[in-house]
Amino acid sequence: MVKVKELTIEVTYRVGYGEVEMPENVYNQLVEASEKGHKLEMGRSDRYTEALNWLSNNIKEADSMDWEADVEEISDLNEEYNS
């Protein structure tokens, strides 16, 4: 076993749904974001708040078709002593 001091991982997954019902304002925000090429990032913008809230409540990682992980940073406790 290794005790990890810091670990940062970016996880990206994709889900697909059919015949989904959503409020019209959520739909409009999703269309606008798509047309303008904007990313929807929770906690990073006041824009598209209704869409972000709806996505947060309705999109689940367990529904993903595929996912990937990118290890951005990892260091063990012994690393600082081995330098």
Give domain limits for the chain. 4-76
**Residue-wise pLDDT tens digits, 1-30:** 888 999 999 999 999 989 999 999 999 999
Predicted pLDDT at 3: 87
44 or 80: whose pLDDT is higher?
A: 44
48-56 long-range Cβ contacts below 8 angstroms, 24+ apart = 50/23, 50/25, 50/26, 51/26, 54/22, 54/23, 54/26
The tokens for 72 are: 């951005």
What SS3 state is found at 15? coil
Collapsing DSSP to helix, strand or coil, 68 comes out as strand
